[in-house]
Amino acid sequence: MVKELKAEVKKLNFYYGRVQALKEINLPIERRKVSALIGPSGCGKTTFLRCFNRMHDLYPHNRYEGEIILHPDNVNIISPQMDPIEVRMQISMVFQKPNPFPKSIYENVAYGLRVRGVSKREVLDEKVEKSLRGAVLWDEVKDRLNHLAFDLSGGQQQRLCIARALATNPRILLFDEPTSALDPTATLKIEELIVELKNEVTIIIVTHNMQQAARVSDYTAFMYLGEIVEYDKTDRIFTAPSNKLTEEYITGRFG
């Protein structure tokens, strides 16, 4: 199989004001694979993830340097000329804590489409059903689409957020520790879903749970102090890491 790149990170530096949070990051993102970012707390993995959809633009004094090239268009999504809204319309995100909107289940999923100006009922109905099926939530909620999203359990809420993110056919789907607020059963469901989803979309996932990275990802990058220490196929990282720091981390000696 020929490797195909969905995105390429080149010499990325990121600053919160004067503090440099990411240093000289280079990383390929393989198309329709799951890439995991692991590392101890504060290593910059979430900061890195949030560069992909320009979340840092929401807050003042944040600054990017370098490039994240999105293929096949070959555009640098962190260049100042690039509109962050345009980036976010192509790259969706699922957050650490389920964050449904105070709206019905249906409207939560339809939100991204509405933001894009879609208002035809048939189109919305179809997309909502497809996305909810994609997030393996359809059977549980099909009879109560107009119920408030808060009525769902935590795991269901997170799958709803995944459905919301899928509804707009994103090119990349970002997951920021999507199971850290969930119980083991709900976690398992989300993990199975992630493995399922990579057939359709490129996925980047941040996790502090190494077993999770091992279970769901094809590639893993180990980050430490804002740098990528090691990047490789997941089974290699977990069986034969080439860097001593990586080895210490995955064997649980620090982090």
Partner 1 sequence: MKRKLTRKIKEGAIETILFLSALSSVFITISIVVVLSYESFGFFKEVPLIEFLTGREWTPLFAEPKFGILPLISGTLLITSIALIVALPLGLTAAVYLSEYAPHRLKEIIKPILELLAAVPTVVYGYFALLFLTPILQKFIPDLSGFNALSPGIIMGIMIIPYVSSVSEDAMRAVPMHIREGSYAMGATKLQTAFKVVIPSAFSGIAAAFIIGISRAIGETMVVAIAAGGMPNLTANPLEPVQTLTAYIVAVSLGDVPHGTIEYKTIFAAGMTLFLMTLVFNIIGFWLRKRIREAY
Partner 2 sequence: MEDIKKRIRITKFLDYIFAIVGLLSTLVGLALLFTLMTDLFMDGFPRLGYKFFASFPSRFPDEAGILSAWVGSFLVLLVTASAAIPIGVAAGIYLEEYAGKNWLTNIIEINIANLAGVPSIVYGLLALVVFVYFFKFGESILTGGLALALLILPMVIMATREAIRAIPNSIREASYALGATKWQTVQFHIIPYSTGGILTGIIIGLSRAIGETAPIITVGALTFIAFLPSSPFSSEFPFISFKWLFDPFTVMPIQMFNWVSRPQHEFQLNAAAAGIVLMMMTLLMNGFAIYIRYRFRKKIKW
Residues forming the site for partner 1 (CB under 8 A) = 53, 55, 58, 60, 85-86, 88-89, 92-93, 95-97, 99-103, 111-112, 114-116, 161, 164-165, 168
From the list partner 2, partner 1, none, partner contacted by residue 117 (C-beta under 5 to 8 A by kind): partner 2
Contact (CB, 8 A) for 56 and 50: yes
Q: Residue 136: how many CB atoms within 10 A of its CB?
A: 17
Q: With binding defined as CB under 8 A, does residue 89 bind partner 2?
A: yes
Q: What is the nearest approach in angstroms of partner 1 to the Cβ of residue 93? A: 4
Look up residue 138 and give its two tokens: 């359809």
If the CB atoms of residues 95 and 233 are measured against partner 1, the closer one turns out to be: 95
Q: What is the nearest approach in angstroms of partner 2 to the Cβ of residue 85? A: 5
CA dihedral 99, 167, 123, 154 (to 10 degrees): -40
Decide: helix, strand or coil at residue 68.
strand
Within positions 113 to 132, which residues make up the interface with partner 2, using CB under 8 A? 115-117
Which residues neighbour 139 within 8 Å (Cβ) at sequence distance 6 or greater?
none
Look up residue 184 and give its two tokens: 């083991």
Q: What is the nearest approach in angstroms of partner 1 to the Cβ of residue 173? A: 11
From the list partner 1, partner 2, none, partner contacted by residue 55 (C-beta under 5 to 8 A by kind): partner 1
* Angle at CA of residue 203, ends 176 and 36, nearest 5°: 60
**Cα gap 107→90, rounded to integer Å:** 20
**φ, ψ for residue 22 (rounded to 5)?**
-130, 135
**Cα gap 86→245, rounded to integer Å:** 38
**Cα gap 231→48, rounded to integer Å:** 14
Binding part of the chain for partner 2, among 32-40, 46-54, 80-88, 133-141 by CB under 8 A, reads 80-88
Burial class (CB in 10 A: 0-12, 13-18, 19+), 251: exposed
If the CB atoms of residues 40 and 84 are measured against partner 2, the closer one turns out to be: 84
From the list partner 1, partner 2, none, partner contacted by residue 100 (C-beta under 5 to 8 A by kind): partner 1
If the CB atoms of residues 102 and 117 are measured against partner 2, the closer one turns out to be: 117
If the CB atoms of residues 15 and 101 are measured against partner 1, the closer one turns out to be: 101
From the list partner 2, partner 1, none, partner contacted by residue 138 (C-beta under 5 to 8 A by kind): none
The one among 85, 151, 192, 196 contacting partner 2 by CB under 8 A: 85
Instruction: List contacts with partner 2 (CB under 8 A).
Output: 83, 85-86, 89, 115-117
